[in-house]
Structure 1
């Protein structure tokens, strides 16, 4: 999807950005007593992402606000997170539709706005009704059973939610008699703590997590329809600093030297320790932001890369090697503070908050390529590949016959494979993926060479448990 950058469309994009920014500031202020700021901004980014590609944009901020308030509501019934009212909806729409104080306009919070026309008022009422009746709201009507495709339920890594929400994917599956309902969870959570009862398939983002599910349920079948390497997203000023420090090697495709990075992290080098650093002189350790290794696959994959480098570029095997690398690995995570359970959180912070909060973030390559297709990548955002890297193989474990049918369709259906490439995933067709990346001006490595295997299932689990114990 190309990005519109001129004329009325560009003005609309700017108005929406301004509305989203003000709405986010309001949410942070309202929820600050109960919810961390980064959790609010992450929820806003995730909710905003749901409306990508929708043609009518005027009411997106109020809908996003409703979703976030509902999702972050305190479970304590004595603590209420108020939903936006009709007046709030009308105010937001009026504020973003008018930017000048012309005669005859009324004022909202000191800003001149035009009175809503009858048609606009009706539309506001309709939007407010839609907001109030969003699924999960207190006034949501009970759904009446209807005949239709077979419902298939799955638990998937959050980075695949947009793929399953794609109307084109939904249509292909419906044409094959299936309607898929998915819930997101961290990949390690899917393998360890998520209740898979009543679920037709589990779709974590790595082979080790899938293997654990297979062993627990004595299942041999699995599907790996697509994959994505781990990458490090940063910003141009940060990339320039780390180039001078010997961490990033620029080129057609920038690389991130994990060996040099671990040297800096091990000695506690801070950003303001870097010579001639005038662009980011902050007293913070040079660290890559990740998800929580206790629950998320992307953090586990990052840990796999770091363990390989810390173990003298050898896959960790045995108790001696595990104990040798654990202090290095623990330091990479413990110094971060709060971490999200799934990869969607830190990446949305990267997209919305700028380099001040997340100068370096561990992501899946697919997330960056997909965001570029949605027009969310700014010119100063840079994708780098750690050397070495690991390939995260998204592996579906069917738990029922219908789950098996989903796995087969995702793997073999040409249109579903093409759509996976559009969402940034690598399928067996390298040319298809590189073509998508080129169209979006994202420099990618067509043939991944410096790729290492993750440790054996048992070893990776012990390393993750060792890091988890360090948190205590």
Structure 2
């Protein structure tokens, strides 16, 4: 009797194991069946690619995506792309440089994010009173770059602005950025600032470069120490508050993604301003191998991956995904931005950034 029970139990266990294996094989690919795809990406997308939901979504298509992060400028110039299946910088000029150098015509822009300024209600009120902030075309507020440059040219301090009891700091009115020698967000800021400084024209000639360089360089150097990733000033903004970082240049996706996360980091007195004009950071994937191309296609067309990208604050190729995410989070952000300019060519950006770097 005991022997029959033991045999029966063993058979039952064996059947259960076989059922589990069959179920797993039918539900999603086994780990050994996944094709490993390697990419190098801008650091602001690292959390997206490391999210388990994103990992599982790629696995459904037979892919295991492994990524390293680097600055967009580094990806385009110094990173050894020979060991990667795709490159995914955060700007279209960097992607165009990679395409040209690698003789690749294909490219995907599955999501993008406008540059914005994270700040606080007292700062918004103070700058509004001084004509620097005004209402945008929709239910959002903008930082007028031309008015802002008037303050920086004069070396205006916060405590010199009418209404200074709101923020009586003995520091120049400056947006905190990242290091222009390393960070894409600083290059995007340079793009918007140089456009206005060049009489509302994209910088495209050596004469225009020479014209805007002194003003651009001062905006970076007067900040003192700057960090090499937008995560740095954004975390300072969240943790240290208005005294440390009254205005931080960030990607809209950072603010929206953190608000959607719902961890309380975005407090009621925090505000998001859009630069006028602003620049879109267009996250452009350049395929370097067949599976890299598949990653680009999936990010551009797969609804599940699109919805996940929207939860990280990215504007996807389907605007409804972003709109639904911000509506669910009860965020007031524009569905469309009107005052947008294109960045200079990669070569022009490189010359401007190199010239600023030499001033450090």
Bin for the TM-score computed over the shorter chain: 0.7 to 0.9
Q: Which residue of 2 aligns with 1:178?
A: 63
Q: Is 1:163 matched up with 2:45?
A: no
- Residue 91 of structure 2 corresponds to which residue in structure 1? 206
Partners of 1:445 and 1:422 in 2: how far apart? 16
Structure-1 residue corresponding to 2:213: 326
Match of 2:346 in 1: 457
Alignment-derived partner of residue 194 in structure 1: 79
Does the CA contact (< 8 Å) of 2:306 and 2:321 recur in 1? no
What does residue 272 of structure 1 align with?
159
Offset at residue 378 of structure 1 (A): 0.8
Q: TM-score normalised to the size of structure 1?
A: 0.67
1:256 maps to 143
Secondary structure of the corresponding residue to residue 307 of structure 2: helix
Matched, 1:413 2:298: no
User: 1:166, 1:338 → 2: CA distance?
Assistant: 32
Q: TM-score, normalised by structure 2?
A: 0.87
Q: 1:393, CA displacement in angstroms?
A: 0.7
Q: Residue by residue, what CA displacement relative to the aligned partner does 1:287-321 show, whole Å, maximum 9, x if unpaired?
A: 11111111211111110000010011111121111
Q: Which residue in the other structure is 1:348 paired with?
A: 235
Q: Do 1:157 and 1:342's aligned partners in 2 also have CA atoms closer than 8 Å?
A: no
Q: Which whole-Å deviations, capped at 9, do the CAs of 1:306-353 have from their partners, x for residues lacking one? A: 001001111112111111000111011011122222222211221112
Number of the residue aligned with 2:249? 362
Q: Is the 8 A contact 1:185 1:342 kept in 2?
A: no
- Paired position in structure 1 for 2:122: 237
Question: Which string of whole-angstrom CA distances, capped at 9 and with x for unpartnered residues, describes residues 254-286 of structure 1?
Answer: 111000001101111011111231132111111
Give the CA deviation at 1:438.
2.1
Quote how far apart the aligned CAs of 1:441 are.
2.4
Q: 1:428 aligns with which of 299, 310, 317?
A: 317
How far apart in 1 are the matches of 2:311 and 2:51? 11
Q: Which runs of 5+ in 2 are unaligned?
A: 1-30
Q: 1:246 aligns with which of 119, 131, 134?
A: 131
Q: Distance in 2 between matches of 1:307 and 1:319?
A: 13
Instruction: Give the C-alpha shift of residue 367 in structure 1.
Output: 0.9
Task: Return the alpha-carbon distance in structure 2 between the equivalents of residues 306 and 434 of structure 1.
Answer: 28
Q: Which residue of 2 aligns with 1:226?
A: 111
Asked whether the 8 Å contact 2:300–2:317 carries over to 1, the reply is no
For 2:81, what is the secondary structure of its paired residue? coil
**SS across alignment from 2:37:** strand
Ranges in structure 1 where 5+ consecutive residues have no aligned partner: 1-145
* Matched-pair contact (CA < 8 Å) for 1:247–1:260: yes
- CA distance in structure 1 between the partners assigned to 2:240 and 2:41 by the alignment: 26
C-alpha contact (below 8 Å) 1:243/1:250 kept by paired residues: no
CA positional deviation for 1:148? 4.0
Q: Distance in 2 between matches of 1:276 and 1:428?
A: 43
Where 1:317 maps in the other structure, the secondary structure is: coil
- The 2-side partners of 1:161 and 1:374 are apart by 16
Return the alpha-carbon distance in structure 1 between the equivalents of residues 160 and 117 of structure 2: 21
Q: How many residues align?
A: 326
Q: Aligned to 2:151, what secondary structure does the other structure show?
A: helix
Which position in structure 1 is the counterpart of 2:180? 293
Q: For 2:283, what is the secondary structure of its paired residue?
A: strand
Q: 2:328 aligns with which of 432, 439, 449?
A: 439
The secondary structure found in structure 1 opposite 2:53 is helix
**Superposition deviation, residue 147 in structure 1:** 2.6
